[in-house]
Structure 1
Amino acid sequence: MAKASRWSVQEKKKVQIDQPSIVHAYNYYIVGVDRLDQNDGAYRIAIRSEKWWWPLFAFLPDAAVNNAWVLYRMSPAHGHQNLINLASRGV
């Protein structure tokens, strides 16, 4: 069991309640799914086809590009790139 904070109408303050660990894990990992959905909606491969398998096939490179971007953002190289950009601007 994990703890979650909720607003109590009777006490008029936030209280700690028990939360099943599966709900806590879902809420923790749903952020990545939301980011994938957001990026997929904005940067989807835009080729129209009437084949039934096209959406299944097109999802694979979309997800791979999204995962590569997330891994790059988590890598030390991303922070290093920000320092190079700041230095080139004279900051």
Structure 2
Amino acid sequence: MDMVQVAWAAIALLATALFGMFGMFFYLGARIDSVGAALDAKIDSVAGALDAKIEGKIDSVNSRIDALGARLDARIDSLAGLLQAHIERHAVE
């Protein structure tokens, strides 16, 4: 084998390795994209479930606060009536 054949063989081996690496990088990029898409879908589904759960909790807390507000209003009105009656009893005419 002369030097020209050895040089061409080395060039062919390097070219094959280089194209193999490019192929590997394209495959790796496609694989990363597919894993990213799967991760996006999973995050979206978990976020949707979490949003629904949080909305349910917020509605529950709002209704409890409204009920407590109504009880507090009734209690304040009752005490205001008692206070007014007490003031009228001791009022100087």
Larger radius of gyration: 2
State the TM-score, normalizing by the size of structure 1: 0.29
Larger strand fraction of residues: 1
Larger helix fraction of residues: 2
Higher relative contact order (CA 8 A, sep 6+): 1
State the TM-score, normalizing by the size of structure 2: 0.29
